[in-house]
Structure 1
Amino acid sequence: MRWHDCWRDHRPPGPAADAIDEHSLAFLTGAFADLLGGRPLLGNRSQWFRFRTSRCARWADGNMVLLGDAAANADPSLGSGTKLAAESAIALADALDADRPIEESLRAFEAQRRPAVDRFQRWACRSQRWWDSFPARLSMDGDRLALAFMSRLRPVPLTTTGDLATIIVPAVAAWAGVSPGELPDGDLTDWITHRPARIAGAGVGGRIVSQADLAAAGVHVARIDSATDDPWGPDADRVLAAARTAIGDGADAILLAGPPDSTEVLERMDVAERIRFELGVPTGVAAPAAQTGAIACGLVAGRIDFACDTGFSRDRRPAR
């Protein structure tokens, strides 16, 4: 799903919404007939649709101001459209000052409010892309799929304590092929990244490896630069095409490289996930040592198979 500078609905023509709703209700009523005890499901006309993200270069013109979806909308999978509009309205009221020109007040409002809106739009875009590509994950273990959902915006700490432990523990156990009782207590990051791995059939010492380690194990890795904020956009299509060519030339695995900041690393993981799903080849990312937590989460959530970076210490050992 690509970003657009303005709102345009390009949905292809199809059955009327009511017909779609009735068909879905009839199908689900039959699927869950035993649980419903002969009773029908009731619809609320909640239709999934093809969402378009809108952004405006300016939010004000003269004394006219855009707020909420008119200025910048966000995918409804995060459910915060009203909250964004209300917070912008509060910020606008705070910025208006009778002692200065209205144009100056509106510039101050936009300068104060735009960073928060831009940040939320980036989160919403990640959520939108996750849902748009959901069918590719249907073969995943249910526990790992739950973690993939929970971490679709940003990594979650992988620990055996806390509110998310009931999701994290079974997901990590399923990924590692062990029982939950075999996991160490506390932070699981080191334990995950030091699990033995097989890349293209070759055994390597852990999930964080150097390209030299992979070469020594006989794994031919193709390193491809990847810098895109949309894993299903044109730039990612070119990365996928390069990966397909590399595989045809004999590559056993793909390594995506790029800028070291956390946002870029997460975007690379999304592209890596797409390569894993579509090409079925082991895929990793280059990432700095500071991103070890994100790497561990990406491994368990099925986004990557390994990570490479010379900044990782080879002396680290997993927690016991």
Structure 2
Amino acid sequence: MFDENTEIVQKIKEEKTLREMAQELNILVNDVHKRIMQIRNEGLVLKKIIYDSGDIRYLIKKLPQKNSCAATIKLCDSNKFSAMLISDLHFGNKLESMDYLNKIYEYCKNYGINIIINGGDLVDGSFSKGDQAIDEPEKQLEYVIKNHPYDEDVLNLICLGNHDFSLYKSGIDIKKALETARYDLIPLDYGLGILNVGENQIFIRHHITEYNFEPIYGKLVLEGHKHKMAFANSDKGFLVNIPTLSNLTLGRHEFPGAIRMDLFLDRDGYISSGHFEQFILTDKLYTVNEAIFDLDFLNHDYLSENSVKPKIRKLQNGQSQIDKFYQRWGQK
């Protein structure tokens, strides 16, 4: 095992990607990931670089990295970034649909899209708006890890939502579990994710009751939680509400859906415009609308994670929600 891990470390130092390591070592990409997780658990500090081709490269860092909600995406084409936007899958609920997610994967494979951005609520968690097919949160997580579609060329960037957070409150860190078990399911953080693309920051948000969220002005914001598809273009920025990819739709005029997002960058690396194709899902994907927006008004100022990262909400008695959780269950 030592020799195998030493070999992986050398490949990382040579700046090989996951696919390149798998090819040169003649093993599966999943097996490369398992070895990298072993090395990380032994104390090696790694930073992940994501390519929009669906590949990953790691950098060895000297100092421990703080818990970050940001991911850096390197573009193969410096003028364009494409991704599928999905949200609120609620696996574990009777109204979930793995079939819808499989159709998204089929579309991505057919149209060469390698990045899926998930706006949160991957699982239904410990509370629900409907009946649950799997009522134990731990088994919901196991179900996702085992049954979520996989394609070697597709990466999922996931902003964890309030239903995902309910697992954390029960002692199950879905973020840690996902990044250990599946290299292709990349959790950013609870409530907020930041994608550094070219010279831009793209923000992904999902409401969590226990958090206070800071306003984000002048930026592109992708938001889950509301289970509906909508765009808001104003001087405060550009907001995309991502629809639910489940049958937990709100209102008779809402359908399970997804959005294809194509962002076009100018020669300086800044987003200049965006093309958004809206889909509803039944027996297949149906395009219901296409729109192009000028986005050159977006603010290019860098926002630090600390300035926008949601904070635990303080209650009137001075205790945070997490304090009350620890008090109830006798944890410190």
Does 1 or 2 have the higher relative contact order (CA < 8 Å, sep 6+)? Answer: 2
The structure with the largest alpha-carbon Rg is 1
The answer, yes or no, to whether TM exceeds 0.5 is: no
The TM-score normalised by the length of structure 2 is 0.30
The TM-score normalised by the length of structure 1 is 0.31
